[in-house]
């Protein structure tokens, strides 16, 4: 009788999108445990929206706001990377800009050739997508 496994193959690279909320921290914890178990590398990504608020246009230029948000995200991702290194988990991170957050995550998953995506679901649970050869595509 064949063994039933939740994954079709052992992941070597796992992507986890992070917005620094408690639910994304739970996803990072789950992804870290998986990376440790499978000896996989972990790719963390934060997508900073390209906000264009009319009220902020006159107070803070969009570029300055994006740079500040991007720099803050990179500092937080670097802290996460240090904690992962202490656990012996190889990791990298990327800060991206764009309003199509889901599309950016798919693009990054394809660019980085990840085998698995671990993503938070609005604080309710953590979702795991495996076998990205059959990943959802944008319409």
Q: Are 130 and 10 in contact (CB under 8 A)?
A: no
Average pLDDT over residues 64-82: 87
Q: Cα(46)–Cα(72) distance, rounded to whole angstroms?
A: 11
pLDDT in tens, 101-131: 889 999 999 999 999 999 887 655 555 555 5
Q: What pLDDT does residue 52 have?
A: 58
| Average of per-residue pLDDT values in the chain | 80
More confident residue, 50 or 67: 67
Query: Residue 9's closest CA among 122, 131, 138, 136?
Result: 131
Residue 65 pLDDT class (50, 70, 90 cuts) = confident
Cα three-residue angle 9-14-20, rounded to 5 degrees? 150
Neighbours of 1 (CB within 10 A): 3
């Amino acid at each position: 009788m064949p063994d039933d496994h939740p994954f079709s193959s052992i992941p070597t690279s796992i992507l986890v999108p992070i917005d620094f909320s408690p639910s994304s921290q739970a996803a990072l914890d789950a992804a870290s445990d998986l990376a440790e178990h499978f000896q996989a590398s972990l790719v963390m990504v934060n997508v900073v929206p390209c906000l264009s608020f009319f009220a902020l246009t006159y107070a803070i230029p969009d570029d300055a706001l994006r740079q500040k948000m991007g720099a803050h995200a990179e500092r937080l991702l670097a802290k996460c990377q240090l904690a992962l290194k202490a656990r012996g988990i190889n990791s990298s991170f990327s800060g991206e800009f764009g309003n199509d957050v889901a599309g950016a995550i798919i693009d990054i998953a394809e660019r980085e050739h990840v085998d698995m995506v671990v993503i938070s679901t609005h604080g309710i649970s953590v979702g795991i997508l495996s076998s990205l050869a059959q990943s959802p595509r944008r319409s």
